[in-house]
Amino acid sequence: MASCRSLGGEIGAPAPHVLAVDDSSVDRAVISGILRSSQFRVTAVDSGKRALELLGSEPNVSMIITDYWMPEMTGYELLKKVKESSSLKEIPVVIMSSENVPTRINMCLEEGAEDFLLKPVQPSDVSRLCSRVLR
């Protein structure tokens, strides 16, 4: 599988750090597996709330990839909070969903999401993100 590490620039540069957010333990495991196989460093959390807690303490997150439907805080709500934050708004956010709902997709893209992926996410989706999002 194509490695995203080379997009980090310098040889020996640390792998980009991706924060994966999904309330499903199965989906967290799968997306983490895909990201790790693409040479990302991955932290996976189960809620938007935990994602924001981590973002507050971890300065070097290169990308957030989040499920749309989560209890308490949806991926869209997380996206909005990230884009409203002066310290976080430059972090690319990618939304995942098992449902292909055009209005939902447009809403997320208009709010600043970099991409909207349909589940199950494939390694080729992540490779595409590498080249486009992590420039």
122 near another protein, judged by CB under 8 A: yes
24 near another protein, judged by CB under 8 A: yes
Segment interacting with another protein, rule: CB under 8 A, options 10-18, 34-42, 84-92, 125-133: 34-42
Ramachandran bin of 13, using left for φ above 0, alpha for ψ from -120 to 50, beta for the remaining angles: beta
Rule CB under 8 A: choose which of 7, 30, 54, 109 binds another protein.
30
Amino acid (one-letter) located at 133: V
Rule CB under 8 A: choose which of 6, 13, 14, 25 binds another protein.
25
Taking the C-alpha atoms of residue 68 and residue 31, their distance in angstroms, rounded to an integer, is: 14
101 near another protein, judged by CB under 8 A: no
39 near another protein, judged by CB under 8 A: no
# of chain residues touching another protein (CB under 8 A): 17
Label residues 91-124 b or e (16+ Cβ within 10 Å = b). Answer: bbbbbbbeeeeeebbebbeebebbbbbebebeee
Other Cβ atoms within 10 Å of 65 Cβ, number = 30
* Interface residues toward another protein, by CB under 8 A: 24-27, 29-30, 33-34, 36-37, 69, 98-99, 119-120, 122-123
